[in-house]
Structure 1
């Protein structure tokens, strides 16, 4: 079977990066913004030469703490993944000074079958203080987390992130392939609680999809979107959109920003899913349907009428939550979980 090609990710033009905050507020689907970070000194150095980009990054490396480097043998073809039986992984992690990673990447640039080297999701302000100030991007979002990703040719399996994500290519080129959240059933997602990097991933090898083992992947490809990003280009990935990231050059750098449109004290939705697996999934079908109606009423269809018939002072968790009431609710949940209540 020949898989359909992904359609291009929608592209938008922003003549001035200062227009980004207003644009982000209206986007609910993926967007590519060409040249959004073209003015960054890091991008300009990378366009000149990989060595220039490395020298620029080293200016901000205080050397006070090592980074976590993921390395995989040449035979993995850059795929950061599980081992054959999903009991472990095909890579190892080690603590290495950042400048050693950068020098090693330069060393292997000309080798066609180099080992995979990947520094993932490293907090920008902690490890490279001052770099964000020299390479600014105003998002208009509250306290976004800025991270840097550095490596050579790598393939990161399709996964999702709970926050919205704006990823800017600073060096090299990257291919990104995106799938809407509704394609979760067609991507053959692996374990939720044993993952390569914290998020569940698709088990499909996008370079050589096994359609006998994963036949519904053909359906996912009907909804796929893709783009190749050059230095200075950016892609907006909405919350829960699955994304497969591929570094196409021997030296790649990406800077991304994550943010959630809710207060930091609110809990992670994945915690609710995990608890639902524990408490609801194995119930009789009639009871699952009843709980589905409860969730629909109190969560997914909730509006200001759900508790309007209850006096405001008596609404408890049905009322408006704040940081203090959320902390009390979290303590109640902790107590219930420790007690093993099935009520």
Structure 2
């Protein structure tokens, strides 16, 4: 797999590194962080990290000892695509999505490891608790009272297009090396995002090829690079990616493993903002300009600029969902929306 054009990465800001003495210090850093940071060696004592330092096969054997007897979803790309799991010329995916048990998948990796024309093989966002037994107990980060989703990412040399996630993220390299190139949320226009419904993994991705950027087609990408941060993570290192930060991810070794933890800073019972955006495209985007302008004002009034003036003239007890959201109110809204969308 070719390395990225050195001219693209040269001069980019490095992700800041912090030291944490214990889980309380990590918690304190996470609570105040508004930008990414790296903790070198945070999980270096994990048994999985030690296995990966011996070899990729040793790491695979370790995972096999903890696997559940289940079908895993795996993406298999084509040789010659530089490990990039992306779109083809017709905007279909350039990889196949298959189901197989972990020993079969790892046997294929064993058979092609080290080959220059090996196809990229990638298991993305596999739930650690559902698909492995004892793996979390032996290899995890204490994140206090956060309600985390723990996922594992396993693969050969791969490139994953820049995208963002709504939850906050702590990503821990357990084997191999990974390079992250990160961008603040406000750079989304300069990343030239693709479709929101036809995506490689559920989130709109940058259409820019980071190894071979076409600045004629994507001139604003230069501005995005001016705000970018980059880091290469070794086994045992961890990276915090705040909510909504865009990240381009490269697995740099023939075999790579990452465990990550996602959590929402907002209550879990709140809705997904992406659902609201999709519904606004359905219901608002193509209205006549004067109607759309009015709806923009209503969104500002009730959502983006909402303050006490929105409800001051309504008696307490009669404000309905204009009051601060509660789990019960969220459930009522969700039921109402489901009925309306089903009509």
Q: TM-score range by the shorter chain?
A: over 0.9
Q: Unpaired segments of 5 or more residues in structure 1?
A: none
Aligned to 2:4: none
- Cα contact 2:37–2:241 (8 A) shared by 1: yes
* Structure 1 position 54, deviation (Å): 1.6
Three-state SS of the structure 2 residue aligned to 1:106 is helix
- Cα contact 1:165–1:258 (8 A) shared by 2: yes
* Structure 1 position 3, deviation (Å): 7.9
Aligned to 1:322: 326
Following the alignment from structure 1 to structure 2, what is the Cα–Cα distance between the partners of residues 2 and 140? 38
Aligned to 1:29: 35
- Aligned mate of 2:99, from 91, 95, 111: 95
CA gap of 1:332–1:2, structure 2 versus 1, over 3 A, is closer
* Structure 1 position 150, deviation (Å): 0.3
Three-state SS of the structure 1 residue aligned to 2:299 is helix
- Aligned mate of 1:65, from 62, 65, 70: 70
Cα deviations by residue, 1:177-204 (Å, 9 ceiling, x for unpaired): 0111111111111110111111111111
Aligned to 1:124: 128
Following the alignment from structure 1 to structure 2, what is the Cα–Cα distance between the partners of residues 35 and 305? 50
- Cα contact 1:3–1:218 (8 A) shared by 2: no
| 2:99 matches 1:80 | no
Three-state SS of the structure 2 residue aligned to 1:25 is helix
Three-state SS of the structure 2 residue aligned to 1:75 is coil
- Written as runs of structure 1 = structure 2, the 5 A alignment for 1:248-263 is 248-263=252-267
Aligned to 1:181: 185
* Structure 1 position 56, deviation (Å): 1.4
Q: TM-score, normalised by structure 1?
A: 0.93
Three-state SS of the structure 2 residue aligned to 1:12 is coil
- Cα contact 2:9–2:230 (8 A) shared by 1: no
Aligned to 2:47: 41
* Structure 1 position 119, deviation (Å): 0.4
* Structure 1 position 141, deviation (Å): 4.2
Following the alignment from structure 1 to structure 2, what is the Cα–Cα distance between the partners of residues 294 and 4? 45
**What value does the CA root-mean-square deviation take over the aligned residues?**
1.8
* Structure 1 position 173, deviation (Å): 0.1
Cα deviations by residue, 1:215-246 (Å, 9 ceiling, x for unpaired): 11111111111100000111111111111000
- Aligned mate of 1:267, from 264, 271, 295: 271
- Cα contact 1:24–1:139 (8 A) shared by 2: no
Following the alignment from structure 2 to structure 1, what is the Cα–Cα distance between the partners of residues 205 and 102? 27
Q: TM-score, normalised by structure 2?
A: 0.93
- Written as runs of structure 1 = structure 2, the 5 A alignment for 1:281-296 is 281-296=285-300
- Aligned mate of 2:229, from 225, 234, 247: 225
More moved, 302-311 vs 275-284: 302-311
| 2:142 matches 1:138 | yes
Aligned to 1:204: 208
Q: Unpaired segments of 5 or more residues in structure 2?
A: 1-6
Count of residue pairs the alignment pairs up = 337
Three-state SS of the structure 1 residue aligned to 2:262 is strand
More moved, 289-298 vs 176-185: 289-298
* Structure 1 position 143, deviation (Å): 1.8
Aligned to 2:13: 7
Three-state SS of the structure 2 residue aligned to 1:76 is coil
Three-state SS of the structure 1 residue aligned to 2:41 is coil
Following the alignment from structure 1 to structure 2, what is the Cα–Cα distance between the partners of residues 305 and 4? 50
- Aligned mate of 2:160, from 156, 161, 172: 156
More moved, 166-175 vs 136-145: 136-145
More moved, 263-272 vs 287-296: 287-296
